[in-house]
Structure formats: structure tokens, C-alpha cells
Structure 1
Amino acid sequence: MRRLLSLFVVFSASLLAAAPSQADVRVLTSIKPLQLIATAVQDGVAIPEVLLPPGASPHNYALRPSDVRRVHDVDLFYWIGPDMESFLPRVLTGRTLPNVAVESLPGMHLRHFAADGESHDHDEDADEHDHDHRPGSLDAHLWLSTVNARVIAQKMADDLSAIDAAHAERYQSNTKAFIGRLDALDGKLKARVAKVADKPFFVFHEAFDYFEEAYGLKHAGVFTVAAEVQPGAQHVAAMRARLTAAGKTCVFSEPPLRPRLAETLTSGLPVKLAELDGLGGYTPATANGYEQVLQKLGDDLAGCLEGL
């Protein structure tokens, strides 16, 4: 019996030695859309982590001590950049492992806010910008462009291949498949919104310009309202006048909270209130999760406008 046990231990050890080693590469992203892109790249190898919980704002998230430890400990960290996550630069100064601000990647298609408050397109390799919507500042909602998703995915694949050569072929083939799916998605989304492209709609936050630009849409106005401050009667009247002039229209807020002003602003008008979720906070981390976020965005926007 003792001899049989010894043989079993030796046999088991030989099987473990012969088994292919799994990558022990920890990837952390700041926000869900970046996690979903990384998930597509790492499909079948590992599941990347995400820093911000669902519903948290990437503009002003308050990091916990455990969050700081995660940022410092992972092998690769990806974030949009200081124009979006202004709370991160100070934390990253103490990080010794690689971190990538994707807004600075070569080949990214970037938009900037103009004097009229609207964002305009601009292609560049790298620059530094303010994180808010002041004229000339970067529109950092760049993940809503599949052009940028392709660039980000390829960067992730190259980084992972460099430190995990055993799975390099898988990372690259996953990325190729992801880019192919995005090509198909672009066509589907253009067809989905084509019939509503001329219908007016308004947003509470200018966060969707990359998506609008890609698929031939254009919001009619932005009702920028601070969550904690109620605008004065004159300002509300001016906003209602714009809605009245637009006629039947949709006004989109972002989850998880609808501005308290929304019902007052639209009461008695032929206006539909709806939501657009550009962060996809509750989207499962699957290989096609990123496509699901964009498809839902198109479906929700078109669905509201089709019902006018």
C-alpha cells in the first residue's frame, strides 16, 4: 500500500509538471468599458479586474485604502487618463509597475470641447488637457469610439504578450477576433439609428459625442445641471423654451440617478425621459461585453426616438 501511495504521488507530480503553466498576470482597469475590452483580449486566459464599482463616477471617485493597494499590486493598470480620472495621478506616482493612460496612445481619435460647448474631432498621438468641459479640453469619453477600442485592445494584447509569452498567440488572435466583431457592430449600429438620425434629442451630460459622431447622430442640446444645485427659475424657463421649440423629443440622463430637475423640466411637454448608459456598469465581463454596451446604447437611443 505504501509503495502504491508513493507511485501515485510521483505520477501526480509528473502530471502537474507536464501541465501547461497558466498566466499569473493581473490586469486592472479603472472603469468597466476598459475592463470589457481587456476581457475580450484575455478571453480564455484570465478575467481582468475593474477598480470602480457600478454606478461610481469616474470623474470624482474616492479611493479606499484597499483600492490603492490594488492599483499598486497589479501587473498592468489601464485608465483613461487625467482628463477623466482626476483622482488617480497622485496614486499612480507611487506605482512601480506599468500603467497606461489610454488617452495618450498613438493612433487614438480624440475630440475636444469647443467654445460653443460642443466637442470637435482631432486626431493626435498625445497631449495634456483639462478634465472638464472647458473650451479646448479633451472629451475623455473616448471609449465610445470603436476606433479607439481597437487601438486600446491592440495595446493590451501587445503588453500581455510581452510579459506572458506562453499566451501571446491567444492574446493576438482574441484581439483580431474582437476587431472583426467591431467591424460588424459598426454596420449594425449605423443601420439601427439611421431612421432616427434627424430626430432631436437632449442630454444632461455631454458624454456621447464619440458615439454620435460614429453613427451620424447629433444631440440638439445639453442641460448641464449639477446634481446638488437646483438652477434658478429663469434658467429652467430657458431650458423649457428649448424643449418646447423642439416639439416631440427625448431627454436622456445617465444611471444610476436621474437629475431632480428632469420631471420639472419636461412636465406638460411632449417629451420622453430615458437613460443612456455609456459606462455599462452592470454588463457581465465576457468577451463580447464591450459590444453589448454599444449595442444597448444604440437600442436605447433609437428606441426612445422611434416612439416619438
Structure 2
Amino acid sequence: MKSLVKQSLGLLLASSLVLAAGCSSAEPKTAPAAAGGQTAPQSAADTSSKPAAATKLKIVTSFYPLYEFSRQVAGDKADVVNLIPGGVEPHDWEPTAQDMKQIQDAGIFVYNGAGMESWADKALDSLKKEQTAVVEASKGIELMEGVEEEDEDDHDHGKEHASAEGPVLDPHIWLDPVLAQKEVQAIQDALEKADPANKETYKKNADAYIAKLQQLDKAFKDGLSGAKHKEFVTQHAAFGYLAKRYGLTQVPIAGLSPEQEPSPGKLGEIVQFAKEKQVKTIFFETLVAPKVAETVAKELGAKTAVLNPIEGLTDDDKAKNLDYIGIMQNNLAALQSALNE
């Protein structure tokens, strides 16, 4: 009798061990259904096998006009970062180590060229070309020779320097709405090559913005064609392409850089010219102190007004939600007023 009891207990114990082993090796149970028959949310471990969202193309631009053109073409398909902060005059700006890293980490680097960004050659030398595509927006555009101010005591040396280095080119092509369209197209081409999956979006965005630039060009043609005067005096030689496009004559107080100080002889020539042409408005710009323009205006008994080279947005521009198109429309209104006095 005791033997039979021991056998029964042994069989019962063996059965319990087998059952326990089976439970420990079974697949984990799914989460219980939530109210309404929906399954409970997955845990972080459950979603770890899902593919990550695609990383957007990163575009780094040198200064404001290139930023605005790139932003218009990119739309929401790429992230656009501008290097030069708002309110900073870009002619003599130099990038920091952090700025250089931003360029190196970008998928596309967009700059104007034609000597506008004096630091660009150094930046390009350090780039990994297989990683970052480069857009020189002025490439292929016929450039004008620029106006550089010379010191009277160094007149001959200045001529020798210009001869040895070649003519100084005017980089301010974005102020001509027709040439701005070419810069937009160069940016569009680069984005389509770098991100072919969004090619149609880039083309659609570029076409829409170019249509706005075409309307701007028409507004300038219509608004300036019947102007009483054709000459205007401005603080620095930024408006040569615009003047050429619409049959005007720019008379700059300084050369291509707004920081240049004109010689007394140069100032005298400008004052005499302005008197002969009955110029009653002297234009200055937003990112540079207007001292020289005010000096000329005082000598003439003229007033001053803003003609914006759009090299960077000021806080006031941002507060008014102004962009490239809006500022160009303001420039047109300023020119119409001055040329019809």
C-alpha cells in the first residue's frame, strides 16, 4: 500500500515539473485588448524595429538673399540655415569654427560668389565634396565691373593693382529681379540633384517664386520707364545691375564696400553732379551708418531716404514681416519718389 502511494506521488511530481517547464518556454502573451476592442499601445521595445523618419536635406546659405531664395525653393522638404545673422553687414563678415562646421555638415552650401563672400574659398577648400554640394549662385551670369574707391595718394598704385589682379567684379546681382531668377534656378537644380525624391516639389516651388520675380520685374519696368530723372545717388555701389536693367544711372558715394570712405575730391564731384542733375534725395542703407550720405545731403540741401541693398534683415524689417519681395517693392517706391522730384 505504501509502495503504491509513493508511486502516485512520484508521478504527480513529474507531471508538475513538465507543466512548469512548458509554461516558462511559451511565447509571451499579447497585451490585453483595451476598451472598445482596440489593442493596447505598443511599448518602446515593440516600436524599436520600425524605420526612422527620413532626415531632411540640410541647406546652409551665406547671407540673406541666398537664404530667402533657398527657402522658397525648399519649402518644407529641406531645412535652410543662414550663416550671417540679421542686422550684420556681410561684406567683411568672417565665419567662426562653428559656422565652418555647419557648412561641412550640410548637404548643400549656397553662396553668391563674385567676390561677395571673401571667406568662401577657404570654406570650400575644407569641404568634403562627396558630402556637400556647392552652389555658386552667380556662376554663369555675366558680371559687371565694380566701382572701387581709391585714395588720392595711391591712385597709380590702385591702377597697377587692378591690372595685376584683374578687374573687381560687382557681386550685387540679386538686386536685379531678372538675375535673381537665375540664382533661384541654380538653387533649384542643386536641390533636385541632391534630393530627387522631391524633385517635383522643388520645381513647383521654384516656378511659383520665379513668377513673383517676373511680376516684380514688370513693376520696376512700368514704374520707372517714365521717370523725370534717371540719376540717383546712393551710399555704396550696390545698384549697378538694377540701374542697368531699368535704364538708370547709379552714382555711388563709396565703392563696392559700404565701409569705404570717399576722398574729399570724390565728394566734391558727387555734390557737383547732384547739383547739375537736380538730385534732391541721397540714399543710404539700413546696415551701415548714414554719416557720409547725410554729409552730402547737407551740402546739397537735399533729404535722405533708404534704398536697401538687402544684404541682411534688420529687426525692424522682421517686425514688419518684410522679405526680399517686400523690400524690393519699397525700393521701387523710393526710386519713383526720388526720380520724379
Picking from 134, 149, 171, the partner of 1:99 is 134
Tell me the distance in 1 between the aligned counterparts of 2:258 and 2:210: 37
**Given the superposition, is the C-alpha separation of residues 262 and 188 from structure 1 closer, same or farther in structure 2, using an over 3 Å criterion?**
closer
Tell me the distance in 1 between the aligned counterparts of 2:82 and 2:293: 31
> How many residues get paired?
285
Matching of residue 58 in structure 1 with residue 90 in structure 2: yes
1:210 counterpart letter in structure 2: Y
After TM superposition, give the deviation of residue 44 of structure 1 in Å. 3.5
Tell me the distance in 2 between the aligned counterparts of 1:114 and 1:258: 20
Picking from 46, 67, 77, the partner of 1:35 is 67
1:42-63 C-alpha deviation (Å, 9 max, x unpaired): 1233451111112323321022
2:95 counterpart letter in structure 1: L
After TM superposition, give the deviation of residue 140 of structure 1 in Å. 0.9
Tell me the distance in 2 between the aligned counterparts of 1:41 and 1:75: 15
Instruction: Map residues 1-308 of structure 1 onto 2, 5 A cutoff.
Output: 2-4=31-33, 7-10=39-42, 24-81=56-113, 83-96=115-128, 97-104=132-139, 106=140, 108-113=141-146, 136-196=167-227, 198-219=229-250, 221-224=251-254, 235-267=266-298, 269-279=300-310, 281-282=312-313, 289-306=323-340, 308=341
**Given the superposition, is the C-alpha separation of residues 165 and 197 from structure 1 closer, same or farther in structure 2, using an over 3 Å criterion?**
farther
**Given the superposition, is the C-alpha separation of residues 114 and 200 from structure 1 closer, same or farther in structure 2, using an over 3 Å criterion?**
closer
Tell me the distance in 1 between the aligned counterparts of 2:166 and 2:297: 29
After TM superposition, give the deviation of residue 85 of structure 1 in Å. 0.7
Tell me the distance in 2 between the aligned counterparts of 1:236 and 1:37: 36
**Identity across matched positions, percent:** 24
**Any gaps of 5 or more consecutive residues in structure 2?**
1-29, 151-160
Provide the alpha-carbon RMSD of the alignment. Answer: 3.6
Tell me the distance in 2 between the aligned counterparts of 1:189 and 1:9: 60
After TM superposition, give the deviation of residue 230 of structure 1 in Å. 6.2
After TM superposition, give the deviation of residue 29 of structure 1 in Å. 0.8
- SS of 2:249 mapped into structure 1: coil
Preserved contact between residue 54 and residue 281 of structure 1 (Cα < 8 Å): yes
- SS of 1:202 mapped into structure 2: strand
Tell me the distance in 2 between the aligned counterparts of 1:236 and 1:214: 26
- SS of 2:336 mapped into structure 1: helix
40-49 vs 237-246, which deviates more? Answer: 237-246
Preserved contact between residue 115 and residue 135 of structure 1 (Cα < 8 Å): no
After TM superposition, give the deviation of residue 4 of structure 1 in Å. 4.0
